[in-house]
Chain A
Amino acid sequence: MMLIPCPWCGPRNEIEFHYGGQADVHYPSDPRSTSDEDWAHFLFFRDNPKGVFTERWSHAAGCRRWFTVHRDTVTNEIHPDDSASAARTVTR
């Protein structure tokens, strides 16, 4: 079991959360001039690191808010996201 740090509720059991995958995947800024290849990458291609992954979780059975963490995909060591972009990503 993982203890996942919800920024609002503190560390909680993984069963309360819903997984959102890679963080900071942005909708193409100019969709009309986006190539098929770039659409494909936006829709289907995500990072898949063996190591630290910056990812989204939603506290589905708690406060229901989305947030970002950095988790090691080998050890499950998990750290809250305190980067400058945190405020933006948590409200997205």
Chain B
Amino acid sequence: MAPRTPGADLPEHPDWLWHSPDPKPSYDVVIVGGGGHGLATAYYLAVNHGITNVAVLERGWLAGGNMARNTTIIRSNYLWDESAGLYEHALKLWEGLEDELDYPLLFSQRGVLNLAHSLQEVRDGVRRVNANRLNGIDAEWLDPHQVAEICPILNTSPDLRYPVLGATWQPRAGIAKHDHVAWAFARALDRMGVDLIQGCEVTGFERVGDRVVGVNTSRGPIRAGKVALAAAGHTSVLADTLGLRLPIQSHPLQALVSELLEPVHPTVVMSNSVHVYVSQAHKGELVLGAGIDAHNSYSQRGAFHTIEREMTAAVELFPMFARAHVLRTWGGVVDVTPDASAIMGLTPFEGLYVNCGWGTGGFKSTPGVGWCYAHTIACDEPHPLNAPFSLERFTTGALVDEHGAAGVAH
């Protein structure tokens, strides 16, 4: 009998959710970066503004950057009105996104506890709860006893070196499956005729005076009515080719998962001062993260001592995790700003728009960014919700300081 061709018995490949066409010579809008933000922006450009002659250019594979690497925490309990507006808009969109995209996103509103371990953190937490409520965001202040009721596996005993003195609680917060989110947007875009072009690195810009009229890519020049940056940790590299300085620094941010475990962890727990955050994914792995590595880096990897410290914190807070195993650690490149808030809006160049600086916390805002950035691009003017996040705020001094609410990466 003749040897059988390997794979001959396998079924046909299922239909692709999206295709990767060759670039056309020109588009109305070119979006640089095929992560969550680039995809969501293209989606709302099409749906809210009827603009579909659009290409999303991705240097690697679709959503293989921070979109594939984040720990998927979604919440809107930030301090300032400006942030409340943007993050809560995103959270409301999340609440309808599965239906809208008709794809399972495993969006699970299991709530988030932000722990306080010092008197100052208690005061800050209570203040944030009050601020959230004034902005119509669900928030409660819990004492250690109530914290233990929500998350029984958390060590709330007073013997801890940094005991849990209380926590903020946002019941509508949660997690989602990041890959599914990207795939769902990509499928919708593909159906609407938007070109998702992978393996296409933007290397520079075509300019006529102070107007950007196209991009140069590893697959040739592409002309564009408008160019929108959504390149996360690599935004400086692109802006540098225009001599445009941005107040962002690229850092490694690491995360890790354990092996698959029985469901033990009912919610999301974050602690700024002992510096760790933990949830349990649907499949069963514990998902943990902490802060950035201190140095600038584009290496997509950080130091082991960062992981070691976050494990120490995790085991202190969750003694039962001491016997779990780390299965995998990885890193992304996150673009951090001086005030821990993002930059979204116009640039000094006509036809060029910027969305960056989401740093350690931009997954939660994916649909909100898409909505507001699409408006900014289509109308040549920021949406009211992202107007406070302009590049000019660093000159005017109107910073949106979210270091408290964003203290540990998330």
Q: Give the interface size class of chain A.
A: 20 to 34
State how many angstroms separate the Cβ of A68 from the closest Cβ of chain B: 14
Residues of A within 8 A of B397 (CB): 36
Residues of B within 8 A of A41 (CB): 245
Report A1-44 residues with CB < 8 Å from chain B CB.
Answer: 1-2, 14-15, 18-19, 21, 36-37, 39-41, 43-44
B312 at the A interface (CB under 8 A): no
Residues of B within 8 A of A43 (CB): 338, 394
B249 at the A interface (CB under 8 A): yes
Residues of B within 8 A of A44 (CB): 247, 338, 394
CA distance A76 to B250 in the complex (A): 14
Shortest Cβ distance from B296 into A: residue: A73
Query: When the two chains form their complex, are residues B296 and A40 in contact, meaning their CB atoms are under 8 A apart?
Result: no
A48 at the B interface (CB under 8 A): yes
CA distance A73 to B294 in the complex (A): 12
Shortest Cβ distance from B299 into A: residue: A74
Query: When the two chains form their complex, are residues A50 and B395 in contact, meaning their CB atoms are under 8 A apart?
Result: no
CA distance A46 to B249 in the complex (A): 7
Residues of B within 8 A of A36 (CB): 395-397
Query: When the two chains form their complex, are residues B234 and A50 in contact, meaning their CB atoms are under 8 A apart?
Result: yes
Residues of A within 8 A of B248 (CB): 48
Best-surrounded residue of A2, A45, A75 (most CB of chain B within 10 A): A45
CA distance A48 to B356 in the complex (A): 13
Given A37-B395, A40-B394, A53-B296, A73 contacting B250 (CB threshold 8 A)? yes
Shortest Cβ distance from B248 into A: residue: A48
Majority SS of interface residues in chain B?
Answer: loop
CA distance A22 to B394 in the complex (A): 18
Shortest Cβ distance from B337 into A: residue: A44
Query: When the two chains form their complex, are residues A1 and B299 in contact, meaning their CB atoms are under 8 A apart?
Result: no
B303 at the A interface (CB under 8 A): yes
Query: When the two chains form their complex, are residues A48 and B303 in contact, meaning their CB atoms are under 8 A apart?
Result: no
Residues of B within 8 A of A21 (CB): 249, 296
Q: Give the interface size class of chain B.
A: 20 to 34
Query: When the two chains form their complex, are residues A50 and B394 in contact, meaning their CB atoms are under 8 A apart?
Result: no
- Total A-B residue pairs with C-beta atoms closer than 8 Å? 63
Chain B positions 280 through 320: 1 when the CB is less than 8 Å from some CB of chain A, otherwise 0: 00000000000000111111000111000000000000000
Given A73-B297, A73-B298, A48 contacting B249 (CB threshold 8 A)? yes
Query: When the two chains form their complex, are residues B394 and A45 in contact, meaning their CB atoms are under 8 A apart?
Result: yes
Query: When the two chains form their complex, are residues B304 and A50 in contact, meaning their CB atoms are under 8 A apart?
Result: no
Query: When the two chains form their complex, are residues A45 and B245 in contact, meaning their CB atoms are under 8 A apart?
Result: yes
State how many angstroms separate the Cβ of B254 from the closest Cβ of chain A: 13
Report A42-92 residues with CB < 8 Å from chain B CB.
Answer: 43-46, 48-50, 53, 55, 71, 73-76
CA distance A45 to B247 in the complex (A): 4
State how many angstroms separate the Cβ of A7 from the closest Cβ of chain B: 18
Chosen A-B contacts, 27 in total, with CB atoms closer than 8 Å, are: A1-B304, A14-B303, A14-B305, A15-B303, A18-B294, A19-B294, A36-B396, A36-B397, A37-B395, A39-B395, A40-B247, A40-B395, A41-B245, A43-B394, A44-B247, A44-B394, A46-B247, A48-B236, A48-B249, A49-B240, A55-B296, A73-B299, A74-B298, A74-B299, A75-B299, A76-B297, A76-B299
Q: Give the interface of B toward A (CB within 8 A).
A: 234, 236-237, 240, 245-250, 294-299, 303-305, 338, 394-397
Shortest Cβ-Cβ A-B pairs, 3 listed: A48-B236, A19-B294, A44-B247
Q: Give the interface of A toward B (CB within 8 A).
A: 1-2, 14-15, 18-19, 21, 36-37, 39-41, 43-46, 48-50, 53, 55, 71, 73-76
